[in-house]
Amino acid sequence: MTKMTKLVAIDGPSGSGKSTVAQLLAQSLGYMYIDTGAMYRAIGFSVDQQGVAFEEGEALKKCLASMKFEYGKDSDHLVIVNGENLTEKIREHHVSKLASDISKLPIVRDFLFATQRSLGEQNFSVMEGRDIGTVVFPDSFMKVFLTATLEERANRRLLQLKRNGTTHSYEEILEDVKQRDYNDTNREIAPLKQADDATLFDTTGVPQEEVIERLKTLVNERASSLGM
Ligand code: DC
> Does the residue 1 lie in any domain?
no
CA of 227 relative to ligand 1 center, distance in Å: 32
Ligand 1 site, residue 37, Cβ cutoff 6 A: yes
Bridge partner list, 147: 202
> Does the residue 94 lie in any domain?
yes
Ligand 1 site, residue 153, Cβ cutoff 6 A: no
- pTM for the structure as a whole: 0.92
| 184 Cα nearest atom in ligand 1 | 11
CA of 103 relative to ligand 1 center, distance in Å: 7
Instruction: Pick the residue whose CA is nearest to atom 4 on ligand 1.
Output: 37
> Does the residue 60 lie in any domain?
yes
pLDDT digits (tens, 9 = 90+) for 150-204: 999 999 989 888 887 878 899 999 999 999 899 889 988 889 999 999 999 999 9
> Does the residue 228 lie in any domain?
no
CATH no. for residue 77?
3.40.50.300
Q: What is the mean pLDDT of the chain?
A: 94
Q: How many domains does the chain have?
A: 1
For 126, the domain range is: 7-219
Yes or no: say if 132 and 14 are a contact pair by the CB < 8 Å rule: no
> Does the residue 2 lie in any domain?
no
Question: Does the pLDDT value for residue 1 go beyond 60?
Answer: no
- For the segment 127-153, the average pLDDT, to the nearest whole number, is 96
- For the segment 53-63, the average pLDDT, to the nearest whole number, is 97
- State the pLDDT at residue 14: 87
CA of 128 relative to ligand 1 center, distance in Å: 9
Instruction: Pick the residue whose CA is nearest to atom 18 on ligand 1.
Output: 129
> Does the residue 224 lie in any domain?
no
Strands of the 140-147 sheet, one edge to the other:
32-35, 125-129, 5-11, 140-147, 199-202
Using alpha carbons, select from 23, 224, 13, 6 the residue that is nearest to residue 123.
6
> Does the residue 102 lie in any domain?
yes
> Does the residue 227 lie in any domain?
no
